[in-house]
Structure 1
Amino acid sequence: MPTVVITGASAGIGRATARLYGRRGADVVLVARGKGGLEAAADEVAALGGRPLVQTADVSDPAQVEAVAEAAEKEFGPIDVWINCAFSSVFAPFEEITPEEYKRITEVTYLGFVNGTRAALKRMLPRDRGTIVQVGSALGERSIPLQSGYCGAKHAVNGFTSALRVELLHRGSNVHVTVAQMPAVNTPQFDWVRDRLSRHPMPVPPIYQPEVAARGVAYAADHPRRKQYYVGATTVATIWANRLAPALLDRYLARTGFDSQQTDSVPPSGLGNLFEPADRERADDQGAHGSFDEVSHARSWQEILVRHPAATVLGTGAAVLGAVSAIRRLAS
């Protein structure tokens, strides 16, 4: 059975991905800061048929990430797949985010991926095998307001990964790195995130369940030769709309991007999990899902298309046409 390391495994996409690999009977190394969520995730992996290993670590610290890799190989043997998924954010206009907060977002959401990739490559390169999956976002190509720190970090992940991919190709390595670009996903981050909004933050609809994202991550790990995978039709449409008419999209998001990321309910405390985990104890565990189950999609037609090359071409064409149609509506 493969050995899979998942950072950000205590909740959201990472948690759903851990469950998926548990069903496969994999050896799953669960990494996050919050012990409560990790312990609950470990129980789920074991119940589903996998073997879990809990590793409490802050991915912004390269020494802690290196210790995770050492523990994983000591317990289970060579790491086959390393999935970087941990992140942090602040929902606020740029000028209301402090330098310390911006630094922290970048250290976790960007450098956390760099640290995880470094630890994985240290072991994979000498063996000339292994796969690294970066859990990205459509916001890594199309930024939106109120999430400048997160968007900047996800853009950085794309740039870093592209450079690394070329280096691996240059040396003829059989180690693969790919990116799974995500849509809006119903995760607990919108209850945990630090914010300075007047209303509760939310993902921009349409929203997908974390299981949709997890299937996209696993598919990318199983087929890592492609540069990146788009999860969810909205991811494809957003990226193509940005490529075709970025200035128009800027104006549209300036009009709609603030309200579309907030509900009408009272916001959280505002403290969030930026510097401390929100799930320190088992009672704090929220699982994979956030607060938007009633409006989230459990399936995506695009995830079916991506498994069939011919259908993928048709699906991408349809998404491009959809993006063009959307641009025309925005311009009218």
Structure 2
Amino acid sequence: MKHLNGSNRPLRPVVVVTGASSGIGRGVARALAARGADVVLAARTERTLTAVARECERRGGRALVVPTDVGDEAAVQALVRRAVERFGRVDAWVNAAAVWSYGLFEDTPGPVFRQIVDTTLFGQVHAARAVLPQFRSQGRGVLVNVGSLYGRLSSPYVAPYATAKWGLLGFSEVLRQELRDAPGIAVCTVLPGAVDTPIYRHAANYTGHRIRPLPPVTSPERVVAAVVRAVDRPRREIVVGRTQRVGVWVDRLAPGLYDRLVGPVVNTFAVQGALVPPHDGTVFVPDPLPGTVDDGWRRHDHRLVGGALTATAGLAALAIVVRALGRRR
């Protein structure tokens, strides 16, 4: 994304990144800074954001730290104002803030469910409400919503997160339809599968057991690259993670089969044997420790990946058989 000033010199892109303290958001901020962008960093913890700002500045970008709880609409409005006051405009906005829980719906406390939806869905709604008037005044802008393949399918234990991501996918589609009168404004949705980020370690957990991402786990760098591509060359939707896309395909071909088998697959590969007492993770309070982009899951996945790939291939084959038998009847 390049714009020219009055001297026909390229302007540094100005990009707001929410969820910038760790995971995909942190990776996106660093990647954009390395390309010379001015980045506005938003998350709940100022100390962690300050560390990210130093990383971005070492890579050649300028950084503005704005501690923000995206579930607070007034705070998100203030975030836009701070960005415009400092840099004069907002060229792109990346919505990467999210919190997560693992547990049966009936075991998940109501306040936790609400907080996850407030952050993961309404945080992005608040961002759109805040930045779209700025985009309209400029005549251009790119809004990138980091969704999930949980916006296309579901599994046990993730009711609030799946609710938020399904809602985000529909919200993004409505925005695209309503912004047809503003061809300079783009709304992009990036849909990754399981990604090697700290969100699983930070997740609230009511399963009674240790949890991990469902293998094979995608590197955060692949998702970061997809987000940066969306900022540069907006596309309606970008899916990241080939293996996880098989689950979407199976769900469409044989939804009954998917419903029967997804639980055993998740219990085998994502819910581990170690006992863990129930806890709220970082749903309400951010992690006081320094954030990271990845969390090391891929370095220990070799044994599980083979089993997960075999299970995925089996699901796909069964779906084809079920679909073929259904057509013969």
Fold similarity call, TM over 0.5? yes
Which ranges in structure 2 are unaligned for 5 or more consecutive residues?
Answer: 1-11, 303-312
Residue 253 of structure 1 aligns with an amino acid whose one-letter code is: V
Map of 2:69 onto structure 1: 58
Map of 1:309 onto structure 2: none
269-278 or 39-48, which moves further after superposition?
Answer: 269-278
Give the Cα separation in 1 of the matches to 2:159 and 2:96: 18
Q: Is the aligned partner of 1:69 residue 2:80?
A: yes
Q: Residue 263 of structure 1 aligns to a residue in which SS? A: strand
Q: TM-score, normalised by structure 1?
A: 0.86
Map of 2:319 onto structure 1: 327
Choose from 161, 179, 183 the match for 2:172.
Answer: 161
- TM-fit CA distance, 1:173: 3.2
Map of 1:185 onto structure 2: 195
Give the Cα separation in 1 of the matches to 2:16 and 2:254: 38
Give the Cα separation in 1 of the matches to 2:99 and 2:63: 24
- TM-fit CA distance, 1:292: 1.1
Contact 1:202 1:263 in 2 (8 A): yes
Give the Cα separation in 1 of the matches to 2:121 and 2:135: 21
Give the Cα separation in 2 of the matches to 1:326 and 1:45: 47
Give the Cα separation in 1 of the matches to 2:273 and 2:291: 22
Give the Cα separation in 2 of the matches to 1:138 and 1:322: 20
> 5 Å matches for 1:82-97?
82-97=93-108
Contact 1:91 1:196 in 2 (8 A): yes
Map of 1:237 onto structure 2: 246
**Higher relative contact order at CA 8 Å, sep ≥6: structure 1 or structure 2?**
1
- TM-fit CA distance, 1:195: 0.6
Residue 195 of structure 1 aligns with an amino acid whose one-letter code is: N
Q: Is the aligned partner of 1:285 residue 2:290?
A: yes
Map of 1:317 onto structure 2: none
Contact 2:40 2:83 in 1 (8 A): yes
CA displacement 1:59-96 (0-9 Å, x = unmatched): 01110001111101111121001001101121110001
Contact 1:207 1:295 in 2 (8 A): no
Map of 1:254 onto structure 2: 263
- TM-fit CA distance, 1:265: 4.1
CA displacement 1:152-211 (0-9 Å, x = unmatched): 100000111111110111x24320001000110111111111111222211111101211
Runs of 4+ more than 6 Å apart = 329-332
Q: TM-score, normalised by structure 2?
A: 0.86
Root-mean-square deviation (Å): 2.2
CA displacement 1:129-157 (0-9 Å, x = unmatched): 00000001001110111111000100000
- TM-fit CA distance, 1:219: 1.1
Q: Is the aligned partner of 1:196 residue 2:188?
A: no
Residue 287 of structure 1 aligns with an amino acid whose one-letter code is: T
Contact 1:192 1:268 in 2 (8 A): no
Among all aligned residue pairs of Structure 1 and Structure 2, give the percentage whose two residues are the same amino acid: 34
- TM-fit CA distance, 1:327: 2.9
Contact 2:254 2:322 in 1 (8 A): no
Map of 1:79 onto structure 2: 90
Q: Residue 72 of structure 1 aligns to a residue in which SS? A: helix
248-257 or 104-113, which moves further after superposition?
Answer: 248-257
Contact 2:128 2:143 in 1 (8 A): yes
Contact 1:2 1:26 in 2 (8 A): yes
Contact 2:24 2:220 in 1 (8 A): yes
Give the Cα separation in 1 of the matches to 2:30 and 2:182: 33
Q: Residue 179 of structure 2 aligns to a residue in which SS? A: helix
- TM-fit CA distance, 1:246: 1.8
CA displacement 1:274-315 (0-9 Å, x = unmatched): 111113xxxx10311114141469xxxxxxxxxxxxxxxxxx
Q: Is the aligned partner of 1:275 residue 2:280?
A: no
Q: Is the aligned partner of 1:125 residue 2:143?
A: no
Map of 1:294 onto structure 2: 299
Residue 19 of structure 2 aligns with an amino acid whose one-letter code is: G
- Paired positions, count: 303
Residue 213 of structure 1 aligns with an amino acid whose one-letter code is: V
Which ranges in structure 1 are unaligned for 5 or more consecutive residues?
Answer: 298-320
Q: Is the aligned partner of 1:6 residue 2:17?
A: yes
- TM-fit CA distance, 1:107: 0.6
Give the Cα separation in 2 of the matches to 1:99 and 1:269: 14
Give the Cα separation in 2 of the matches to 1:197 and 1:97: 9
CA displacement 1:24-51 (0-9 Å, x = unmatched): 0110111100223212211110111111
- TM-fit CA distance, 1:19: 1.1
